[in-house]
Amino acid sequence: MNPEPHPLEPFLPERARLLMLGSFPPPRKRWSMEFYYPNLQNDMWRIFGVIFFNDRNRFLAPDGRSFDRQSIEAFCREKGVALYDTARAVRRLKENASDEFLEIVEPTDIEALLRRLPECREIVTTGGKAAAAAAASLHCNTPGVGEFVPVSVDGRTLRLWRMPSSSRAYPLALDRKAEAYRRVLATLSGDVPAP
């Protein structure tokens, strides 16, 4: 089985202060847009909608069948959110999006990404596999869910967070996921509404 290369380039807005790292995109047949967290069954953009707009559907396209990539990209640029994954190439042991059946063949050089993001202070991993891969790459302990550990990259101190998976397969209600993410996303700006 040949390794599957990452289908997207890193999304690195110029003044990004937060780098969000998942594990790897789902198979393309599950995509509703050509961007990160493209599966309509994934709650990441609903989490952002709840936190920043009190509207879980804020980033849905008008037809409700896809996410609105332009709106998401503009929002991430405005807020300083960079996006990539902890694997540059994987083997899918089953033809699905489950992290359990992903074998990381080529991990991402997270330190190299961070060198391209001089203002970044927060690294957010979106699930257990991403957190473990990031911790291995950054030579630190894996944080508990909803927690962070300090990491040092080129003399810069950052925080590596582990958030609950945004996958619907992760057994936590959307509002509870948003509550967990709110803690770290509040570091982006002072205008995150209170829960």
- Please give the tally of structural domains in the chain: 1
CATH number of the domain within which 159 lies: 3.40.470.10
Does 100 map to a domain? no
pTM here?
A: 0.91
The amino acid at residue 108 is: T
Establish if 192 belongs to a structural domain. Answer: no
Domain that holds residue 83: 7-87+110-185
Asked whether residue 96 is domain-assigned, the answer is: no
The values of phi and psi at residue 43, to 5°, are -95, 5
pLDDT digits (tens, 9 = 90+) for 116-169: 999 999 999 998 999 999 999 999 999 999 999 999 999 999 999 999 999 887
Burial (CB count <10 Å: 0-12, 13-18, 19+), residue 77: middle
Is residue 2 a part of any domain in this protein? Answer: no
In a domain, 103, yes or no: no
Residue 22 covered by a domain: yes
Please write the tens of the pLDDT for every residue from 75-121: 999 999 999 999 999 988 877 666 777 788 999 999 999 999 999 99
Q: How far is residue 183 from each of residues 43, 46, 162, measured CA to CA in Å?
A: 17, 16, 11
